[in-house]
Structure 1
Amino acid sequence: MTIDVSAERMVPLPPERVAEYAMDWRHDAEWTQGIRTAELTREADQGGFGVGAEVTRTAYFLGRRIDYVLRVAAYEPPRLLDMVSVAGPMPMHVTYTFEPDPRGTFARIRVRGGGGGFYRLAAPVLARQVRSSIGKDLRDLEHRLTGQ
């Protein structure tokens, strides 16, 4: 069984401001649920962060430590950051999108993945937890950026 969940939120700031913060791996642990550390472990071919770059994250989810590596598959600031796991306990695809709206930015996170072992057995719980976590991520992103 695979999961495909998303969360969205209206953030009352311009997409450039929201995406600049959210797409910067150095902020991952500040607004993303469960992430304790994030490190750029491979730069993009042109250097720095972009397509081909890899970020290694250590997170805690459902009481378990998870170490995984996300490779940037698409990077189109301020609109899109698309990442796929290249190492970790399960295949994962994470997409951040930021669309302009008269009220600010329509921010969305989508997580798709499939698991083996524990994660396959826990798929229904996992999907609920991921949906809850990414909803909180967007809430925390807004609060961090607006100071509210």
Structure 2
Amino acid sequence: MVNVMTEIIIRSPLDKVSEYAANPDNAPEWYVNIKSAEWQTGKPLTIGSHIAFNAQFLGRQLAYVYEVVEFIQGQKLVMKTADGPFPMETTYTWEAYDENFTRMTLRNKGNPTGFSKIFSPFMSPIMRRANKKDLKKIKEILEKNKTNDRTKM
């Protein structure tokens, strides 16, 4: 069983962080391994939405579909693989640290099967490193956008 949780504090208001992170169209920008995201159901994001992702992980191309199973705007998003090589649940949570800072957590849990089962003893540390990179990237993007917003005033 893989169960990895990482978190970061982002200097941006909760609504901006959660709106950006919860939008699958933004995933290729801040997820290191995700190459594309394609809606299989209509927008906006809601319980039951299906999004197809193409990723590269451990040197392999992965294609999988996530289904949104829980969504509380500005608080929590839970997605589970509806189709794919690695049964996985991904959870985002957002919490206002204060009016200008947001704590974002990213949690992945699942049971590797098939090819990925070979790597299961190494999967948690690999995923933790990837998640930390992803959270650093979203922090960089959102904090840069915040700086750009201030310079436009």
Both structures adopt the same fold (TM-score exceeding 0.5): yes
Q: How far did 1:117 drift?
A: 2.4
SS of equivalent to 1:57: strand
Match of 1:118 in 2: 115
The answer as to 2:95 corresponding to 1:99 is yes
Question: What CA distance in whole angstroms lies between the structure 2 residues aligned with 1:77 and 1:142?
Answer: 19
Question: What CA distance in whole angstroms lies between the structure 2 residues aligned with 1:146 and 1:116?
Answer: 37
Amino acid at match of 1:15: L
The within-5 A match list for 1:1-148 is 2-43=1-42, 48-102=44-98, 104-147=101-144
Q: TM-score, normalised by structure 1?
A: 0.93
Amino acid at match of 2:12: L
Amino acid at match of 1:98: W
Question: What CA distance in whole angstroms lies between the structure 2 residues aligned with 1:17 and 1:48?
Answer: 16
Question: What CA distance in whole angstroms lies between the structure 2 residues aligned with 1:38 and 1:91?
Answer: 18
Amino acid at match of 1:73: V
Match of 2:151 in 1: none
Q: How far did 1:118 drift?
A: 2.2
Percent sequence identity is 29
Q: TM-score, normalised by structure 2?
A: 0.90
Deviating beyond 6 angstroms after TM superposition, the runs of 4 or more aligned structure 1 residues are none
SS of equivalent to 1:90: coil
Contact 2:85–2:114 at 8 Å: present in 1 too?
Answer: no
Q: How far did 1:71 drift?
A: 0.2
Q: Could you list the runs of 5+ residues in structure 2 that have no partner in the other structure? A: 148-153
SS of equivalent to 1:50: coil
Q: How far did 1:120 drift?
A: 1.6
Contact 2:8–2:136 at 8 Å: present in 1 too?
Answer: yes
Q: Could you list the runs of 5+ residues in structure 1 that have no partner in the other structure? A: none
SS of equivalent to 1:13: coil
When the two chains are superposed, the root-mean-square deviation of aligned CA atoms in Å is 1.3
Q: How far did 1:104 drift?
A: 0.9
Structure number having the greater helix percentage:
2
Contact 2:77–2:91 at 8 Å: present in 1 too?
Answer: yes
SS of equivalent to 1:42: coil
Contact 2:65–2:83 at 8 Å: present in 1 too?
Answer: yes
Deviates more, 1:134-143 or 1:111-120: 111-120
Question: What CA distance in whole angstroms lies between the structure 2 residues aligned with 1:22 and 1:48?
Answer: 14
SS of equivalent to 2:28: helix
